[in-house]
Amino acid sequence: MSRIDQLLAAMTVEEKIGQLTMRAAGTNLTGPDQPYDLPAGIAAGRIGSAFHVSRREDTHRLQELALGRSRLGIPLLFGLDVVHGYRTIFPTPLGEMAAFDVGLWQATAREAAAEAARAGVHMTFAPMLDIARDPRWGRIVEGPGEDTLLGVRVAAAKVRGYQGDNPVRGGGLAATAKHFVAYGAPAAGRDYAPVDISERTLREVYLPPFRAAVDAGVIAIMPAFNDIAGIPMSANRRLLSDVVRGEWGFTGIFVSDYDAVPELIRHGVAGDLAEAASLALRAGIDIEMMGGAYEYGLPVALKRDPSLIEDIDACVRRVLALKERLGLFDTPFGPGATPETPGGPAAPRTLARDAARRSIVVLVNRGVLPLEPSSLRRLALVGPLASARRDMLGPWACIGSGDKAVSVEAGLKAALPDCRVDVAPGVAIEGADRSAIGDAVRLAREADAVVLCLGEAWAMSGEASSRAGPGLPGLQEDLAAAVIETGTPTVALLSSGRPLIAPRLMKTADAVVAAWFLGSEAGHAIADVLTGRCEPCGRLPVSWPRSVGQIPVWYAERPSGRPQDPADKYTSKYLDMLNEPQFVFGHGLAYTRFRLSGLTVEPSELRTGEALDVAVEVSNDGERRGEETVLVFLHDLVASVSQPVMALKGFAKVALEPGETRRVSLTLAPEDFAFVGTELVPVVEPGTFEVLVGPRADRAALLSAKVTLLPDSDTASRT
Ligand code: GLC
């Protein structure tokens, strides 16, 4: 009899439910506080896993309790939100997406997992894979941005990075794909608000990143707080069990979000805790995080419906199998001291600096960047984020410490040793006190250049942090205007969890740089790019709105029957605003000039099932080296379902010296021509496709060619 069968046979119902119960250890809660005697619960066998455990002394202490005091001595599973770093903090996920670099995404996850695993953590609640097109939503900061293909690529990269070949035993972590699903499309951009999207949009846009995570072997999935068209995800048996387990073959575990199971009562689909627990169990949720619905509700639910014990046993079996797979029974205190990363203790900071540099997006540059260190005698550093350190880490910074973060001030002072750097906050991040603007303006007037450090506090994005007006908070716009009016060349840095709507700043500053929340090495990375020590290569993973009135704005829209035509009143546009965002998906400037030419698509006539080779020449026509990002979009001109005006199907980066030209090639796979057909399953239909290639989702910047997909014997075939 296997260990799992033996344990199942020996366990009481209370102990079985215990294996399905996860509670927080520690105080930095990420949801409503719920006092609970964790040690007593562990000793009584009522707890099978704990989260918010971040240090080895804590994981060790709790594990000893489980092994030594509980009747069966089943080891605990420890989870933690290692979202963009454990102790060394990397750019927040939306910022890191701007690197368009799959290898980097995997590397930072690997590094974070190694740091956390050494502390005895077994599971991370990451990657967050919620596609988002609404910067009012605070959690846009945690995810892949607006584009499904980017979501698919980062999903696989992060799962590979976190889990490695053998999570925990091999020094990695079990990954959790979250929040399943469409959490990024809440009504009015308000966190937790209802989601109402079509099944087609669900399958076209929001499901694919989770499918990619499952195909990459993700061990856990976390259902989202929201409902979809009235069915809360924590009770969504069709999507959790029929689709993810049934259609996709997922064999891992579902771990609920924080208190999400009891919240089925507030959703109005459960009359009491027992009913909520029963719905979640039947839907397929294996572990309940906080809430106590399983601990206190399942015993009552069992009395009402004894057949639930079969669901309980199935969940317990999956949880014990996971603990066995992670080696917790053999090495409950972790695999011992896993080797430092190959580069030694400095490696994480080096990677953090590189990741931060590659995430920076230069939005505007009217000839002022890169700053020329030799001509800079006095630099004014103005703004509420000039000396900020904790804010540079952004939300979900795990045990990252502001004390170890490099501020913009520190980074620029280190990079410009011969330059006098004066600092003036001018205004607070939020607030109405303008009394210090004068000092800032005086500094600006006397300086050779100004770096304006503007943006959000770290807690203004992330969970429960939606903003109805996602612009520059407080009096920062006024500060910027006053400083820019001095005429001193001014570079505006925007540190934020989301695109910030600031049309006046974009028009008046000499340069504007999206600096997201870049993590522990923010200051050094920003200085590297502003001084030209490194070339900017970041590109926007999300459209940047011109006005909150445009939201949601994204590039891959369907055309409608009246696509905008400025010359025709009766087409889809505003009376008072352009349709185009401030900056399109993929926008980002270099310090040099790139030119694309010679687009080829081979073969020009394609049979279903054949791949398409796309190639283009990229030239660096400028005086500085640079790294271009080449995006390949497809537009299916005529199909049985109206298709987006373009959809990203591939991307590649190419580094070029001044004057250098390289041919960049990408291959589109047959499935790239598929779309969700009228029957809601992927289909490929013959016809003409436009292949659009270039740096961003703007037709004027794209080369295009046509390719024809020839009919098969029958006209449409399922992929
Ligand atoms: C939070 C978040 C989730 C996180 C969990 C544990 O409410 O929604 O992303 O992993 O609780 O902290």
Q: Give the model confidence (pLDDT) of 367-407 as tens digits.
A: 999 999 999 999 999 999 999 999 999 999 999 999 999 99
Instruction: For residue 712, name the pLDDT band (cuts at 50, 70, 90).
Output: confident
Give the span between the Cα atoms of 404 and 475, in whole angstroms: 29
User: What is d(CA 582, CA 138) in angstroms, rounded to the nearest whole number?
Assistant: 20
Sign of the CA dihedral 565, 570, 574, 576? Answer: positive
Q: Is the peptide bond before 552 cis (omega within 30 degrees of 0)?
A: yes
**Look-up: residue for tokens 């522990």?**
520
pLDDT above 70 covers a percentage of the chain that reads 98
- The number of the ligand 1 atom at minimal distance from the alpha carbon of 142 is 9
465 lines ligand 1 (CB under 6 A): no
Which residue is closest in CA terms to ligand 1's atom 3?
257
The answer to whether residue 716 scores a pLDDT higher than 50 is no
CA–CA distance, 276 with 19 (Å, rounded to integer): 18
The string of pLDDT tens digits covering residues 324-342 is: 999 999 999 877 655 555 5
Average pLDDT over residues 116-124: 94
Dihedral of alpha carbons 401, 402, 403, 409, sign:
positive
pLDDT tens string 25-71: 977 788 888 889 999 999 999 999 999 989 899 999 999 999 999 99
How much is the pTM?
0.97
Residue 601, preceding peptide bond in cis (omega within 30° of 0): no
Nearest to 28 by CA among 462, 397, 294: 397
Strand 703-710 to 687-694 pairing: antiparallel
Tokens 């040099």 belong to: 592
Could you identify the residue written with the tokens 């999207």? 197
Neighbouring residues of 192: CB distance < 8 A, sequence distance ≥ 6: 186, 225, 226, 464
Mutate to test the pocket of ligand 1, among 52, 142, 257 (most ligand atoms within 8 A of CB): 257
**Whole-angstrom Cα distance, residue 172 to residue 158?**
11
Contact assessment for residue 99 and residue 359, using Cβ atoms and an 8 Å cutoff: yes
Residue 72, Ramachandran bin (φ over 0: left; ψ between -120 and 50: alpha; else beta): alpha
Quote the CA–CA distance of 113 and 115 in Å, as a whole number: 5
Task: Return the ligand 1 atom nearest residue 179 CA.
Answer: 9
Distance CA 406, CA 415 (A): 12
Mean pLDDT value of segment 101-112: 98
Distances (CA, A) of 440 to 449, 493, 560, 594: 13, 16, 49, 37
CB 381 within 8 A of CB 453: yes
Pocket test for ligand 1, best of 28, 77, 81 (most atoms within 8 A of CB): 81
Asked if residue 73 has pLDDT above 50, the reply is yes
Provide the pLDDT for residue 27: 73
Residue 524: C-alpha distances to residues 95, 520, 543, 563, 570 (Å): 16, 9, 27, 45, 51
Record the tokens describing residue 678, joined without a space.
Answer: 């009228």
Catalytic residues, which ones? 257
Q: Does the structure show a pLDDT above 50 at 719?
A: no
Q: Which amino acid is at 55?
A: R
CB contact at 8 A, 349 and 518: no
State if residue 30 touches ligand 1 by the CB under 6 angstroms criterion: yes
Amino acid at 634: L
**Using an 8 Å Cβ cutoff, are 181 and 237 in contact?**
no
Residue with the larger pLDDT of the pair 166 and 652: 652
